[in-house]
Structure 1
């Protein structure tokens, strides 16, 4: 994957603009406005299917897309048009539309006129062009930045002959297809490794390390069989609720999610669950179990590794006996699939966005677990085996990053003439 080894053109000229740099001498320098015609026809989404403009291209409107009540005030899109979301917070959301339809007015709709659609689909989605497109925009801050057509039409483009445009498009289509397939395969491998890791942890923390050990019925349907020497106790005999409050709000601010468990937040001015004054937030210390009451049904909980403050609505529980649990074991147990499914079943509310898992539910819940010494053995075993899996995942993530970087560089090089494909 070395772009530098690719063939180049015989001679180059300075384009005079930084995003293009030196381009082949035979390529024509022209302004974008001469290559496209802006389509500004207003239509209704009742007559033309609403479309979503994403980083992966143009699709029928996604169910998750933000919708407005102004469906009669949209822009017409015809198949073959190139559509760009002009907002900086949608950077890179663009593509050649395969469909007739309509988009919100924030989008710029371009009809290719003096440029092949298949070529413009690569050059206008290239990283270098996207950066130039937003550089030409205006606004107060990044989140309120936008680019209008009368601004972008002045962008200098380097245009090869139609035959070269077609060859570059075919070359990039083939190369990107292979790269995307390689990325997809590695992402599937990562998903399988993560699933394997989760199964490993689940089995170890709920069944132990010895598959030949005698088992017993825990007496709890959702826990099932456990090693015969393990204990089964209700939460109220293992933990007490902590409701200590911060006097200053100056302690470390902690976040609790289903993906990361309990983690530190580096900034306190993030939009979250409390006002900027954190006085009255709940205090927790290392070793405390913290439940995100609203999202426990998704597994948003964990055992904190450090002291800090959390939302007053969160649940904090501290083991009654010192050294009764290995913190890592306890977190893995409480975040295992069977336990999370139990939170989901027990949480109360009208629908998923309103479900809550309260203290009395945790105290009524049973836990099946071994001695502290056996917990330590389980944790040591998991860290060794899971560590190998994590290393494999890390390697594949690095490979994916390299492939994506190569894809970006390859497109930039081809559409600006840094490499020759014919």
Structure 2
């Protein structure tokens, strides 16, 4: 990356913008109501929908909808969908607070749901600059003062009365060009770091898979496991059905136990620590008691390796499987084993498909799976080995994740600073400076 944007100078003179989310802006910038900036452009496709490509507004902007692998619901007819042309803006003006991204500048021609609002920018405004301006406002959800009703809706008339910043057109273009270059550099840096994380996760997964299927002694005699996808294992290891390793027990609950949830990343955690919705006390009578050391599985995601040892005592929803370890079982070892690629494949085959990404693993099918069984001592040593050697990788992933977060924050601040005139991008000449140059 080039020099930090903090080194870029501010403008010489500022004024109060009169708009809550902008603060002070360069003296020569105008603020104009959107009715003078964006023209409402609603054109229904009617009976001609078969001539249009179906588009979606996503975190990546306006994209072509994947009709070969469709997700979500579709209407019986698309008559009320509206045309979108290259250069059009699409705004989602409802559920603004909850929607990850509510603005997109289209480079495609197609149709999109009539629930969205389509605008065409006027000629004297640079579409790329306006996109950066509204992406900045949206990323910080800084239009809250415009919301109406329970669905956090911005009525069209209110939005058209809201004032956009209007630097001279040449400045708009310079700002857009500057941000295009800088954000591309930041995005490339983020992509590089995400690749580093992927490599670390891959190394960790290789470590776990080799250790839980081949043990810690590379010179130990081996034999065929008899389990498809596993291959050879240490000769002294046993292969047994899961029914001999874990059993689900019916345990009475009192009703005041700690509600627990199963995170695909963090495992079994108290529900109030989950970002997703927590368990409702009204339904606790249907829950299961979970004890420390139990193996908890999300029955619908067994094929994704969502098996975790619980470190907590509490209750979980009846949709989860809660299995008590039997004699000679170290639950953490089996958590690692069931996270491996081969066992994800095995559990995918043992699950009954319901829909894409959602498959049900019954108790009987779980019990009928064969698993590897080292001695309890080896199970414990394997877990210690994995913890010791994966800790540096986990720490590296944490550090890189923090770096990515800082880059994202940097990008957001950079965009906001440029589009609101808190910094002057290279090439901008202010009116007073231009006048001096003309008189010189």
TM over 0.5: yes
Partner of 1:205: 212
Matched, 1:115 2:111: no
Q: Counterparts of 2:190 and 2:217 in 1: how far apart (Å)?
A: 38
Aligned equivalent of 2:187:
180
Once the 2 structures are TM-superposed, how far is the Cα of residue 190 of structure 1 from its aligned partner?
Answer: 0.7
Between stretches 15-24 and 310-319, larger displacement belongs to: 310-319
Name which of 391, 395, 399 aligns with 2:395.
391
1:279 matches 2:285: yes
Alpha-carbon spacing, 1:26–1:199, altered in 2? closer, same or farther (3 Å): same
* 1:168 lines up with 2:175 in the alignment: yes
Contact (CA 8 Å) 1:254, 1:308: kept in 2 or not? yes
Cα offset, 1:54, TM superposition? 1.7
Contact 1:239–1:318 under 8 Å retained in 2: yes
Q: How many residues align?
A: 416
What SS does the corresponding residue of 2:179 show, helix, strand or coil?
helix
Question: Is 2:109 aligned against 1:100?
Answer: yes
CA distance in structure 1 between the aligned counterparts of 2:281 and 2:357, rounded to whole angstroms: 21
Deviations 1:266-302 (A, max 9, x none): 189x768988321142222111122322322222222
Q: Which ranges of structure 1 fall in alignment gaps of 5 or more residues?
A: none
Contact 2:239–2:371, Cα closer than 8 Å, also in 1: yes
How big is the shift at 1:223?
A: 3.1
Name which of 300, 309, 315 aligns with 1:303.
Answer: 309
Which residue does 2:385 correspond to in 1? 381
Range with greater deviation from structure 2 (402-411 or 232-241): 232-241
Deviations 1:147-177 (A, max 9, x none): 1221112222221111111111111101111
Change (3 A) 1:128 1:92: closer
Residue of structure 2 aligned with 1:372, choices 372, 376, 379: 376
Whether the aligned pair in 2 keeps the contact of 1:246 and 1:280 (CA below 8 Å) is: no
8 A contact 2:245–2:329 mirrored in 1: no
Residue aligning to 1:232: 239
Shift of 1:347: 2.3
Counterpart CA distance in 1 for 2:343 and 2:291 is 23
Please, what TM-score do these two structures have when normalized by structure 1?
Answer: 0.90
Matched, 1:3 2:5: yes
Q: Structure 2: any 5+ residue segments left out of the alignment?
A: 428-440
Give TM-score scaled by structure 2 length.
0.87
Taking the aligned partners of 1:60 and 1:285, their CA distance within structure 2 comes to 48
Q: Where does residue 319 of structure 1 map in the other structure?
A: 325
CA contact (8 A) 1:242 1:318 kept: yes
Q: CA RMSD in A?
A: 2.5
Q: Deviations over 1:391-413 (max 9, x none)?
A: 11111111111111111111111
Task: Quote the Cα distance in structure 2 between the aligned partners of 1:349 and 1:96.
Answer: 38
